[in-house]
Amino acid sequence: MKKNESISWLPSIRQKRGVYRFGGPWAQAVIYSVPWINTLILMVLLFLYHQRIAISPGIVFDLPSAPLREGSHTGLTALMFAVTHESMAREEALVFFDDARYMVQDDEQMSNLAEQIRLRMKNADSKDFLLLADKRVSHGDIMRFVTILRNTGVSKVNVAQRPD
C-alpha cells in the first residue's frame, strides 16, 4: 500500500492494472461476497418453505376434543369390523348399515351401500355420519368407505373405535 493511499469504505475510484474499482480493499471483499451470501439465504429459505408445502395424500380429520360417549352422536351410524374365514388367508372387512351386511372388497355391494346411504341422507336431519370401526380393520378399507361417504353427500364423518 502506498503512503498516500488509505483504506476507505467511501466510493472512491481507483485504477489498478487498467481496471477501475470502487472503494477500498475491504469494500471489494464485501462486494464480492454478496452474491454468495444471497445464494445461501435463498437456499435456506427454499429449504424451509419446501418443508411447509410438502403435499401428503389422504383426508384431514378434525378430531374432537372430548372422548366419544354413548348418546353423544346424531345422524347415521355404520359398524365396520374385520372377519377371518378358514378358506381365506386374509381378513375381510365388513360394514353393517341398516341391518344389512356389505363386504368392502366387493364393488357391487359397495355401490349398493352407497345408494342406501344416499337414500337415508335425503331424509336425515343432519349430514353427519358415525363410523365405528374395529382395531383390526385396515386403514385402506376405512379410507375407501370414507371416500364412498363423501361421494354420497355426507358432510362430516366421525371415525371412532368400536367399543368392546
Domain segments of the chain: what residues?
Answer: 13-52, 76-161
Contact by Cβ (8 Å): 21, 32: no
Q: What is the CATH number of domain 76-161?
A: 3.30.420
Q: Residue 108: its pLDDT value, please? A: 94
Pairing of strands 100-103, 76-84: unpaired
**Full-model pTM:** 0.55
Q: Residue 38: its pLDDT value, please? A: 93
Q: Residue 68: its pLDDT value, please? A: 54
Count CB atoms within 10 A of the CB of residue 129: 27
Contact by Cβ (8 Å): 80, 131: yes
Backbone angles phi, psi at 45, to 5 degrees: -65, -40
Rounded distance, CA 118 to CA 53, Å? 35
Residues lower than pLDDT 70 in the chain:
1-24, 51-74, 88-89, 162-164
